[in-house]
Structure 1
Amino acid sequence: MSRFGVRRVTWRALRARRRELAALGGWSLVESLPALLAGYLVARAVDEGFLAGRLVNGLAWLGVLGVAVLVGAAATGRTYRSLGAVVEPFRDEVAAQVVRGALRDATRADGRPDSAAVTRLTHQMEIVRDTFAGLLMVTRGFLFSAGAALLGLLALAPVVAALAAAPLLAGLVVFLAALPAMVTHQRAYVRAGEQLGQSAVTALAGHRDVLACGAQARVTADVERWVSAQAAAERRLARMAAIRSLSLGIGGWLPLLVLMVAAPWLVERGLTAGAVLGALIYVSTGLQPALHTLVQGLGGGGLRYAVTLENILRTYPESDHQRPSAPAVRPPTGPAGRSPAVEVRGLTFSYGPRARPVLQNFSLTLADRDHLAVVGPSGAGKSTLAALMAGLVPPQAGTVHLAGATVAEVDPAVLARMRVLVPQEAYVFTGTLADNLRYLRPDADEQTLEVALDALGARPLATRLGGLGAPVAPALLSAGERQLIAAVRAWLAPAPLVLLDEATCHLDPALEATVEAAFAQRSGSLVVIAHRISSALRADRVLVLDGGEPVVGTHEQLLARSATYRALVGCWDDDSVVSSRAASARPG
């Protein structure tokens, strides 16, 4: 992925948030008010106040400047809010791209999980977010501050604006001409650092073999080579600082020198002393700081942003992020009634070669529209069974079949359309409510979303948030609200199998009943890892896992056959309430 890919991704992110950028620009315009008025008001204070012997007039002009400074300071706080509305969604998009790429690599046939992906994600996302925000701030700061200063100079005298603008433009040209070389050297520095890290880790991990084979000199030379390469890249990068200083000298300090040298000539042409002072103020407090911030920002954070995002896009190409979702189709099945929805055969799983199996030679069959609740004490294997059914972890023995297809042999993209697993910790991303709900069914229209909200009792939440088009801030949602949004998202998914792994534990019992009833009426099969007795009462069958022989049956059958189930029922509720709920939950 070249720098053009970085440019394309960045521009696309900016275009997608034109409204937020417009708000940022509006507040930046107000913030630049002092830069626009400072030189003009000082010139009036000097010419019409202090030099004219009118102290009050001079102080009044400076008072107006003070008000402008206060207004600009108030606007500064608003610019940071607008900045967050642009930066945070962009960070989420890039993070989603990295996660998709890591999952794709881990779940492909010859892939292996990369435990370092999360570490890289956290570190690189922080760099991208912070430097992207810094780039926006320094760029808009330069445009508005320098633009305001040039307008102020133009208002004082066009010739003064021309004298200041010429060296400013020359300094910008010098810096921008050197920018591609700076990016190249920054990229070489980062690559050398990565190679050095890999070489050092390899040497340390195999130090016993290195000593046994007498290869110390060769390994040391290899590490030393990358140390030298990184040092050389850093020296080249440091030399670029001289070009930044040169551009600052030409664009920031030369205008001051030109104005001071030209001051007698300007006065002879009728420019007042106040106007000369105002021009110097525009250059020293407007143009010079704006250029300095831009050069340092682009030459520092800008280079890190370009190289880090380039690494991300190279490792997890943009095409994976932009590829349209596959059509929402059901997996192919045989003739009606031939293949169960879920069939588990001889399943065995343990978390280590010498660990006691969580499941051993376990078999289970679920028909279409079956509703199974799984209960048991903590650590009995309930969530493990859900992960095995979803194909997230491979068993040591046995097979899992969905609609007649062996999970281990199904392509991950197809498997994603065959089942959906909703964990206890629901994930909601920054974006609109509609975007969150369409995550697993991107073609769903608004009417479909409205039906889903009503079916799962999420209408009050949608109303409180402001409707389908309202922005969702995950940090402002409760755990139950996040679970409800995830439940609606899963209900909309085309997958015929839904696994709820304590996915409603933060909902109140009434809303939990509404959610489970909606899933039970939905086409397909439902497996609920239960955390309340009411979930077991609503199910067609209940599976009890307690570390011994699993037991399957109805609520009444298990009360008679399973001591573990009776104990769980006793812990969850008293007998009178259980009997009452059972009578209301079961027909006849």
Structure 2
Amino acid sequence: MRRELAVCGAALRRRPLLALALWSLPEALPTAVSGLAVARALDAGFLAGRPGTGLAWLATLLVAAAVGAAGARGVYRHLGDLVEPLRDDLVRRVVDGALRRRVAGGAEDGAVARLTHQVEIVRDAFAGLIVIVRSFLVLAVAAVVGLLAVAPAILLIVLPPFLLSLAFFAGTLGMAVSRQRAYVAADERLATASGAVLAGARDLLAQGGEEHGAAMVAAPVREQAAAERALARVAALRSLTLALGGGVPLLALLAAAPTLVTHGLTAGGIVGGMTYVLRGLQPALGTVVQGLGGSGLRLVVTLGRILDATGPGGAPAAAQRPDPVRPSGTDITLRRVTFAYGPYAEPVLRGFDLDIPPGDHLAVVGPSGIGKSTLAGLVCGLLSPDEGVVLLGGTPVRRLDPAVRVLIPQEAYVFTGTVRENLTYLRPAAGSAEIDAAVTAVGADRLVARLGGPDATVCPDRLSAGERQLLALARAYLADAPVTLLDEATCHLDPAAERQVEEAFAARAGTLVVIAHRVSSALRARRVLVLDGVSAALGTHDELVDRSPLYRELLGRWTAEPLATVHTQPDS
């Protein structure tokens, strides 16, 4: 609890907090004068035969309401200044922690749920908690001050059950916290399971694994539903708290009214005391019970969950980032590799072996969803095999320096900034001549010229998918990594542009692996790997034409460009 409060306290800035407190003073005015105005309107006005005086006192309620509305408006204007710094800090913690954990070889454990769901819960709950605490203080203090001004004896009657209800509510918080934690944990497990199923949806469909995918999420769905029902039962106890603290004081005041009148309290004083109970104490109790039992509970539990997962400053508590290793070579080896998207899914790869020698140009082809991108993820270290090993230069790929290999996926990453910043993202020290050479090599020179040169600003949403791919390919070429993987990275380019890109990467020193979406990419490669979901065939184009029916079928479907215009490379 102290840790969570410390994080929330660090987000509170003095100036917005002071502004919030000052604007709360006029907001308290309607509650503070409500009972007093009603008492005076009755005693000095209507009951005394002076209706004009009574109406004048009631008119003060309208003035106070206008002042209170202005105060409420000022409060919400400054609320964001207190809330947004906490949200920004948590986003940094979650993202940094997830990245560090992945680099360290850890698995995804709910980071998506923390970023997209839990951070927003904390943000909204923190804002709600600020409003709740402020509203409770405004209403309760205003009601107590008003009761002291009207009739201190009434305060002695209504305050004990009010305080007793607060104590009862505090006694239920421990059980509520434990059930809220169970709910958050169940929510994370559901997000992790469903994320794994959705990530492997194509492969699951290709392998007929729909039932396995449904089985993976069935148990987390049941756990999450049970946790939410348990949380709802705790919420039912709040009704008892509200009845005790809101209804009992009013009944006690009504029961004591004859005695109070005999001791000199006026009818206006009785009604004014009831007004303070109805407009002050009851709303204050409802605010704190519903607020702390909802927003406050979610804030403490969810924030604690985020901090447990990210550790101090956002670093994952259990993950240590290893020192990057440079491999002794660039040969790629897969031995007995098995990989499935979850414990109940059919493996996408099973007992898979592959050798890619240094400087090879390999094209990987096969039907959609057969596991080509999965293979690229394993080679790059983005995925970990369930069994077997993936080595680059004799070293497990998860331990390697990221600069050793570059993966360009189908959805190219381009960010708002200059062209130069986008191109040098993987090699910041590259000079202008090297940038120009990379741009020309992949055929992005006309695009860069149209954008206004290397120092022009790039707006990603104004680029086509093919233009974004060209910039990403130029970035990968400039990085000059020993191993490059193009995972359908040219699918939005025309065949001539795709050919220029692949030939540019193949012409320089290094290993090139192309996940092909056109068979023309296979015709340019030295070797071709054909995946069919059951087995794999590896060889040259001519060898596979003779012995792979699937490869011949893929060739037969290819109509994008006449075969005669594609130049194959000799074996080496």
Provide the TM-score with structure 1 as the length reference: 0.54
SS of 1:19 mapped into structure 2: helix
Cα distance change on mapping 1:286 and 1:408 into 2, 3 Å: same
How far apart, in 2, do the equivalents of 1:98 and 1:283 lie? 45
Cα distance change on mapping 1:231 and 1:88 into 2, 3 Å: closer
SS of 1:91 mapped into structure 2: helix
How far apart, in 2, do the equivalents of 1:308 and 1:136 lie? 16
1:12 to 10, 13, 16: 10
How far apart, in 2, do the equivalents of 1:301 and 1:56 lie? 46
1:285 to 263, 273, 279: 279
* Structure 2 unmatched ranges of 5 or more: 318-357, 367-379, 383-390, 394-399, 405-413, 454-572
Cα distance change on mapping 1:146 and 1:237 into 2, 3 Å: same
SS of 2:421 mapped into structure 1: strand
The Cα offsets for residues 177-223 of structure 1, whole Å up to 9 and x where unpaired, read as: 1112101111113323444565677789799999x999x89x96x97
Shift in Å at residue 160 of structure 1?
1.0
Shift in Å at residue 131 of structure 1?
1.2
User: In structure 1, what residue type is equivalent to 2:35?
Assistant: G
Shift in Å at residue 63 of structure 1?
1.4
The residue that corresponds to 2:91 in the other structure is: 95
* Structure 1 unmatched ranges of 5 or more: 324-346, 356-387, 399-405, 411-422, 427-482, 484-497, 504-523, 529-538, 551-563, 574-588
The residue that corresponds to 1:545 in the other structure is: 438
Q: How does 1:192-211 map to 2 (within 5 A)?
A: 192-196=186-190
Matched, 1:254 2:248: yes
1:152 to 135, 139, 146: 146
The residue that corresponds to 1:54 in the other structure is: 50
2:115 to 110, 121, 125: 121
Shift in Å at residue 572 of structure 1?
5.7
User: In structure 2, what residue type is equivalent to 1:5?
Assistant: R
SS of 2:136 mapped into structure 1: helix
Matched, 1:425 2:425: no
How far apart, in 2, do the equivalents of 1:32 and 1:277 lie? 20
The residue that corresponds to 2:294 in the other structure is: 300
How far apart, in 2, do the equivalents of 1:223 and 1:407 lie? 35
How far apart, in 2, do the equivalents of 1:44 and 1:28 lie? 25
Shift in Å at residue 117 of structure 1?
3.9
Cα distance change on mapping 1:213 and 1:52 into 2, 3 Å: closer
Shift in Å at residue 541 of structure 1?
7.3
Matched, 1:141 2:124: no
How far apart, in 2, do the equivalents of 1:53 and 1:349 lie? 104
Structure 1 contact 499–526 (Cα < 8 Å) conserved? no
Shift in Å at residue 146 of structure 1?
1.1
How far apart, in 1, do the equivalents of 2:272 and 2:204 lie? 73
Structure 1 contact 348–397 (Cα < 8 Å) conserved? no
Structure 1 contact 95–125 (Cα < 8 Å) conserved? yes
Q: CA RMSD in A?
A: 4.6
Matched, 1:39 2:35: yes
How far apart, in 2, do the equivalents of 1:231 and 1:188 lie? 11
The residue that corresponds to 1:66 in the other structure is: 62
How far apart, in 2, do the equivalents of 1:96 and 1:301 lie? 22
Shift in Å at residue 53 of structure 1?
1.1
Structure 1 contact 349–397 (Cα < 8 Å) conserved? no
Cα distance change on mapping 1:116 and 1:236 into 2, 3 Å: closer
The Cα offsets for residues 295-335 of structure 1, whole Å up to 9 and x where unpaired, read as: 11111222222222122112211344699xxxxxxxxxxxx
How far apart, in 2, do the equivalents of 1:546 and 1:201 lie? 37
User: In structure 2, what residue type is equivalent to 1:55?
Assistant: P
User: In structure 1, what residue type is equivalent to 2:46?
Assistant: F
The residue that corresponds to 1:558 in the other structure is: none
The residue that corresponds to 1:274 in the other structure is: 268
Structure 1 contact 424–502 (Cα < 8 Å) conserved? no
Structure 1 contact 164–259 (Cα < 8 Å) conserved? yes
Q: How does 1:400-479 map to 2 (within 5 A)?
A: 408=402, 424-425=415-416
Cα distance change on mapping 1:312 and 1:271 into 2, 3 Å: same
**% identical equivalent positions:** 44
How far apart, in 2, do the equivalents of 1:202 and 1:241 lie? 33
The Cα offsets for residues 546-578 of structure 1, whole Å up to 9 and x where unpaired, read as: 56389xxxxxxxxxxxxx9799769969xxxxx
Shift in Å at residue 241 of structure 1?
2.7
How far apart, in 2, do the equivalents of 1:253 and 1:271 lie? 22
SS of 1:285 mapped into structure 2: helix
Structure 2 contact 143–277 (Cα < 8 Å) conserved? yes
How far apart, in 2, do the equivalents of 1:167 and 1:306 lie? 28
Structure 2 contact 158–252 (Cα < 8 Å) conserved? yes
Cα distance change on mapping 1:499 and 1:149 into 2, 3 Å: same
The residue that corresponds to 1:584 in the other structure is: none
Shift in Å at residue 120 of structure 1?
4.0
The Cα offsets for residues 246-286 of structure 1, whole Å up to 9 and x where unpaired, read as: 21111111110111111111111111111111110110011
How far apart, in 2, do the equivalents of 1:500 and 1:207 lie? 34
Structure 2 contact 110–192 (Cα < 8 Å) conserved? no
The residue that corresponds to 2:309 in the other structure is: 315
The residue that corresponds to 1:82 in the other structure is: 78
Q: How does 1:374-413 map to 2 (within 5 A)?
A: 408=402
